[in-house]
Structure 1
Amino acid sequence: MGLLDNLKAKLAPAKDKVSDLAHQHGDKVHHGIDKAAKVVDEKTKGKYSGKIHTGTDKAKGAMDRIAHKEGPGAGGGDTFTPPKSPPPAS
């Protein structure tokens, strides 16, 4: 077993715990994201509304993925999946 496999095995329980917490408190997190976005939008007087809206949508999407509310691959390709093996040497 390689170093990364050992690390993944040790972090699996933490990942499950974070997923459970995100699932249980997702509505509170979404509310907090909306509240923060509203405050920032008011402070910037609407100058960055589009960017704030985009950021909140991405944050909510990430929360949903963590909470496993969406199926795999439903995020639109925002995540990076590293290759399983290194590229061949030239």
Structure 2
Amino acid sequence: MGIEELGKKATEVAGKVGEFAKDNADKVSEALKSEQAESISDKILDGAADLANKVTGGSHADKISEVRDNLDGKIGNE
């Protein structure tokens, strides 16, 4: 499969995902506010924040924490 074909397939899949999300907006919203989403998102956000702090030597820890908390408020139920 060439790059062009791969790009076309990716566009098709993205369109289908968008349609699914639109058709199931209530269910998607409910899933994003679930306890399971909270648990998973906390682990991912904590890992990303830790990595960002490691890469920056902690020099932007306050901003990283602020961004992490902002994102956490949008996903999960806490």
* TM-score > 0.5, shorter chain as reference: yes
After the TM superposition, list the runs of 4 or more consecutive aligned residues in structure 1 that deviate by more than 3 angstroms. none
- 1:17 — aligned with what? 27
Deviation at 1:25, TM superposition (A): 2.4
Shift of 1:57: 0.6
> Please, which of 38, 45, 48 is the counterpart of residue 36 of structure 1?
48
Q: How does 1:33-72 map to 2 (within 5 A)?
A: 33-64=45-76, 69=77
Instruction: Could you tell me which runs of 5 or more consecutive residues in structure 1 were left unpaired when the two chains were aligned.
Output: 1-10, 71-90
Identity %: 27
Determine the C-alpha separation between the residues in 1 that align with 2:25 and 2:46.
25
Give TM-score scaled by structure 2 length. 0.60
Task: Give the structure with the higher percent helix.
Answer: 2
CA displacement at 1:47 relative to structure 2: 0.8
Q: Secondary structure at the match of 1:35?
A: helix
- CA RMSD of the aligned region, Å? 2.1
